[in-house]
Structure 1
Amino acid sequence: MTDTRHQDVWLGVDLGTQSVRAVAVTGDGHVLGRGSAPLAGHRDRDRHEQLPSDWWESAGAAMRRTLRHLSASSVRGVAVCSTSGTVLLTDSRGTPLTPALMYDDGRAAAEARYAQETGADVWRSLGHRIQPSWALAKLLWLTQPGPDGVAPGLRGARVCHQADFITSRLVGRPVPTDSSHALKTGYDVDTRTWPTAVHDRLGLSGLDFPAVVAPGTVLGTVCRTAADDTGLAEGTPVVAGMTDGCAAQLGSGAWDVGQWNTVLGTTLVLKGVTATPLRDPAGVLYNHRSPDGYWLPGGASSVGAGALTLAFPGADLARLDRLAAHREPASVVAYPLVSRGERFPFLAADAEAFVLGRPADDADHHAALLQGIALVERLCLAYVRLLGAPVDGPVTLTGGATRSPYWNQLRADVLGRTVAIPAHADSALGMAVLAAHGVTRTPLSAARAMVGDRTVLDPRPQAGRCFAEPFLTLVDALEGRGWLPSKTAAYAREHG
């Protein structure tokens, strides 16, 4: 066991789609432990569910593995992030009453339209739209309102986000949610209130919406049962977290106005920093509040590395990367959606993955998928510039995809921008940073040393030029299918 009695250690936990990951890091950025445990779910077309009990089992395993060589008493605090829009209903003690509908479960399309129309005045003031992937739409789907509102048997049920389930188990009782996870459940981040009048009109007033606190708020301390399950010491502070995209922003070190971070894992999330909320007439971009008073506008696309797993299950992706390096550009252009429907930088519930043409072989197909995701990333950055957001300095890359050196350089080339990859590029690190900020109550900037050194990659101009035509081809294809608005397409062609 490492002697950490004289070091402050902070634990961050990231509840992902395919695994739970945890990291223990000191205030000066030394990673003392890492651990992970797999997650499984049920996918069937638009359906994507997981069992909350699996989250707790995997979270406990990941934390135990992270702390196996550490003194539990050295951990000063823990914070948890999770997928944005994942929700379930529990009873008053936190026992699940429904399965968890995951962030990309698409069955609530009709409910999203109803919620959007019913609360249009509120959503307009906030500058976003309720989408099928949002938790508010999923609550309508789960409850299937009857004549008197919420479905029989669910009246009084407690709304619970993915991270809430874990923090409640850690503390031993239901705890408040944070404003970051609450945003897609309809929480008004401007007034810092639930829109109860909208809930009444939607027939959801029979549900128990939790109290909401700012990210970084101490929710309580680890109880004895949770200590036994996780390896944490009883009494360790549990800090309110943020969604995985916001967590990755914290972990990236891109904390200043004008800086942007893209998280590329199963799907793609873009998040930036602005002094004021970034308003989007189309409503596909939304604004989180940062722990340090700034705003974190961004959006989540349904393209991502999950498309590689779908196309090449069990394949040696490193080998395919080496082959893809000789296919720049690929002979075909791909739009690599992981599941049906797009959320950002445009909203299209009927969007489907496509490949324009027939790939010559697996290497060509793999190259097209890597390039297609990077082309969408480029389109996302063009969209936030269209809305007037500053995009200064390197774009920081985080997420599991940064494990591919080839893909990192390819993304710099396609974006035509310098990119920076933090030494520890994951959302769990962002939660360790937030735990330190929340427990010590020092400015976020005081935790900058936790992020560590970065690798900086400059774009290769000659390589980048060969992706100009594929980018225009993809923009044309998305507009031609009626998914990408003409104004966005025109801007992307001229300034993308």
Structure 2
Amino acid sequence: MRDRIWIGVDVGTQSVRVLAVDGEGAVLGRGSHPLTGVRQGDRHEQDPEEWWRATCAAAREAMRGLDPSRIGGLAVDATSGTILLADAAGTPLTPGLMYDDARATAEAERVNDIGAEVWQRLGYQRMQPSWALPKLAWLDEQGSIEDGSRLLHQADLITWRLAGRRLASDASHALKTGYDLLADAWPATVFDRLGLPAAILPEVARPGTVIGEVGPEGAAATGIPAGTPIVAGMTDGCAAQLGAGALGDGSWNSVLGTTLVLKGVSDHLIRDPGGVVYCHRGPGETWLPGGASSSGAGALSRLLPGADLDLLTARAAYRDPGPVVYPLAAARGERFPFTATDLEPFTIGETADDVDRFHGVLTGLACVERLCFDYLDLLGAPTDGALTFTGGGAANRYWSQLRADMLGRRVLLPEQAESAVGMAVLAATATGHSIKETAAAMVRIRAEIAPDKRRHSSLTELYLRFVDHLRDRLPQPLTTHAYRRAEH
């Protein structure tokens, strides 16, 4: 494993990133290429062909100067719940309906009515409109499913192009399409009652399974050698968790990118009556509970387009946190730690200038993150293990310190805070090593942040004001639990 090079492909919202990582965690090659999308109200779409073009460009950049004979395998992660329809040759028939596209409100109600028994057994109770299955039902309502149509998750398009044929989807991406993780099968009765043809569904493999190899055309397009094993990947949040090495019981990884995603490890399935927390299957008999917020660093792009964030950070560091800006990445709608499709951004306090607005977003995100952990604790998820921060937001050291202070917890920062590292780690398990052994060898920690106890106390006051402002939106048990935990 140490002599090989492992390729991790991360298909995100704003770019595709590819890393080439050796068996000891050193990054030997990297590449990235931007992506564009279209947002209109509740809709968010991207061009699937652009995903592939960006993957090819990023892979060629990452492979430059590497010895092809050392490439041991690759794995792909992508955004959770993003889907499209393709024809039998893999040509897209629809745009990519993105992870936060919430157009399928009516279809979600029908999906939840028909699949109630299955979703309850799997612990998440209800699907949200942004999940993949409601969006698939919406496509069906529009007449988009034709004879020969195939459902693809975002990562599936990439693996199909790499291999030159359709490969199995991974169970992680298939979760939001209704895949039954307990039965390891599609719930046929649910799909029958929805009127969705079984033929459109992919085969499914557990993450870490070798599902194919790079074909001649994929090799020519990307520079990744033909014959390279393709390993079934995971969603971007799970990938970041692997890349952070957060694999012990009660460990959590908080991914701050365009949106905030929390993933943890539990020895039991977490069931959420509110339907905002869901579980992936983890290594061995573990479960990976977590949730994806609609809040995140995308709020900075929305509120402060083109701003010099380094300069704003330097100036914010000289001010005490004051205003709190609810940091929605889009115009409205929250998914975690509570559901509110009509929630619009708001500000608690006055913002005098861009520094205040910037600081308010940073503080608001820290409040959302703390509320997420309060909700997870309320559900009985173990939350007292190691905590790591990854994602682009983790590169801002001031923001990471503020988040640690708000939580009152010690935080670890991995050397390479990217989901693509997690996919390189997962690809390396094709050698037969366990995911824990592989992560221990390949994940490097670059820094540790200790919380400032004095600041934690003052930030807790801001946090409770934030909770009070949301009181009408939150389930009463969560409000009570947030106050109880704050007292301790």
Tell whether the structures are fold-level matches, with TM greater than 0.5: yes
CA distance in structure 2 between the aligned counterparts of 1:155 and 1:289, rounded to whole angstroms: 33
CA contact (8 A) 1:154 1:207 kept: no
The equivalent of 2:386 in structure 1 is 394
CA distance in structure 2 between the aligned counterparts of 1:397 and 1:152, rounded to whole angstroms: 40
Q: Which moved more, 1:106-115 or 1:236-245?
A: 106-115
Shift of 1:327: 2.6
Tell whether 2:295 aligns with 1:303: yes
Shift of 1:478: 1.5
1:24 equivalent among 14, 20, 23: 20
Deviations 1:305-350 (A, max 9, x none): 00011111111101111111123222x2221111221111111111
Q: Gapped runs of 5+ residues in structure 2? A: none
Shift of 1:6: 9.0
2:221 equivalent among 229, 243, 264: 229
Q: 1:183 to 1:152 in 2, by over 3 A?
A: closer
CA contact (8 A) 2:2 2:24 kept: no
CA contact (8 A) 1:9 1:74 kept: yes
CA contact (8 A) 1:37 1:59 kept: yes
2:139 equivalent among 116, 134, 142: 142
The equivalent of 1:321 in structure 2 is 313
Shift of 1:205: 2.4
CA distance in structure 2 between the aligned counterparts of 1:451 and 1:322, rounded to whole angstroms: 30
Deviations 1:83-126 (A, max 9, x none): 00000011122111111100011111111111111211111111
Shift of 1:190: 0.7
CA contact (8 A) 1:39 1:58 kept: yes
The equivalent of 1:244 in structure 2 is 236
CA distance in structure 2 between the aligned counterparts of 1:117 and 1:134, rounded to whole angstroms: 15
CA contact (8 A) 2:139 2:145 kept: no
Tell whether 2:479 aligns with 1:492: no
Q: Which moved more, 1:388-397 or 1:404-413?
A: 388-397
Kindly provide the amino acid, as one letter, of the partner of residue 488 in structure 1: L
Q: Gapped runs of 5+ residues in structure 1? A: 146-150
CA distance in structure 1 between the aligned counterparts of 2:224 and 2:343, rounded to whole angstroms: 44
The equivalent of 2:377 in structure 1 is 385
CA distance in structure 2 between the aligned counterparts of 1:451 and 1:6, rounded to whole angstroms: 13
Kindly provide the amino acid, as one letter, of the partner of residue 143 in structure 1: D
CA distance in structure 2 between the aligned counterparts of 1:155 and 1:277, rounded to whole angstroms: 38
Alignment of 1:331-342 (within 5 A): 332-339=323-330, 340-342=332-334
The equivalent of 1:148 in structure 2 is none
The equivalent of 2:247 in structure 1 is 255
The equivalent of 1:43 in structure 2 is 39
Tell whether 2:62 aligns with 1:66: yes
TM-score, structure 2 length as denominator? 0.97
Shift of 1:181: 0.1
Shift of 1:392: 2.3
Shift of 1:185: 0.3
Q: 1:177 to 1:6 in 2, by over 3 A?
A: closer
CA distance in structure 2 between the aligned counterparts of 1:207 and 1:111, rounded to whole angstroms: 20
CA contact (8 A) 1:78 1:237 kept: yes
Deviations 1:238-280 (A, max 9, x none): 1110000000000001111110110000000001001111111
Sequence identity (%)? 54
Shift of 1:212: 0.6
SS of the equivalent of 2:201 reads coil
Kindly provide the amino acid, as one letter, of the partner of residue 183 in structure 1: L
CA distance in structure 1 between the aligned counterparts of 2:84 and 2:371, rounded to whole angstroms: 33
Shift of 1:292: 3.5
CA distance in structure 1 between the aligned counterparts of 2:435 and 2:185, rounded to whole angstroms: 25
CA contact (8 A) 1:177 1:240 kept: yes
SS of the equivalent of 1:467 reads helix
SS of the equivalent of 2:325 reads strand
Q: Which moved more, 1:267-276 or 1:345-354?
A: 345-354
The equivalent of 1:440 in structure 2 is 431
Q: 1:17 to 1:153 in 2, by over 3 A?
A: closer
CA contact (8 A) 1:155 1:206 kept: no
2:82 equivalent among 86, 89, 103: 86
Shift of 1:162: 0.3
CA contact (8 A) 1:284 1:346 kept: yes
Shift of 1:227: 0.5
Q: Which moved more, 1:154-163 or 1:240-249?
A: 154-163
Question: Which 4+ stretches in 1 moved above 3 angstroms?
Answer: none
Q: 1:333 to 1:236 in 2, by over 3 A?
A: same
CA distance in structure 1 between the aligned counterparts of 2:116 and 2:90, rounded to whole angstroms: 31
Alignment of 1:130-169 (within 5 A): 130-144=127-141, 151=143, 154-169=146-161
Q: Which moved more, 1:259-268 or 1:459-468?
A: 459-468
Shift of 1:155: 3.7
Shift of 1:291: 3.4
CA contact (8 A) 1:333 1:473 kept: no
CA contact (8 A) 1:83 1:244 kept: yes
Deviations 1:66-97 (A, max 9, x none): 11021122110000000000000111221111
Kindly provide the amino acid, as one letter, of the partner of residue 137 in structure 2: L
Tell whether 2:340 aligns with 1:343: no
CA distance in structure 2 between the aligned counterparts of 1:113 and 1:338, rounded to whole angstroms: 25
**Aligned residue pairs, count:** 483
2:109 equivalent among 94, 113, 121: 113
Deviations 1:404-430 (A, max 9, x none): 111111111011101111011110000
Shift of 1:368: 0.6
CA distance in structure 2 between the aligned counterparts of 1:231 and 1:155, rounded to whole angstroms: 34
CA distance in structure 2 between the aligned counterparts of 1:251 and 1:132, rounded to whole angstroms: 29
CA distance in structure 1 between the aligned counterparts of 2:2 and 2:315, rounded to whole angstroms: 49
CA distance in structure 2 between the aligned counterparts of 1:478 and 1:182, rounded to whole angstroms: 33
1:376 equivalent among 364, 368, 382: 368
Q: 1:170 to 1:464 in 2, by over 3 A?
A: same
Deviations 1:370-399 (A, max 9, x none): 010011000101111111122224311000
Shift of 1:440: 0.6
The equivalent of 2:184 in structure 1 is 192
Kindly provide the amino acid, as one letter, of the partner of residue 62 in structure 1: A
CA contact (8 A) 1:109 1:349 kept: no
Kindly provide the amino acid, as one letter, of the partner of residue 121 in structure 1: E
Tell whether 2:267 aligns with 1:271: no
CA contact (8 A) 2:246 2:386 kept: no
Tell whether 2:354 aligns with 1:358: no
CA contact (8 A) 2:88 2:150 kept: yes
TM-score, structure 1 length as denominator? 0.95
Kindly provide the amino acid, as one letter, of the partner of residue 132 in structure 2: A
CA contact (8 A) 1:135 1:185 kept: yes
Deviations 1:9-46 (A, max 9, x none): 00001000000001111111111111100001111121
1:456 equivalent among 448, 453, 460: 448
Q: Which moved more, 1:281-290 or 1:200-209?
A: 200-209
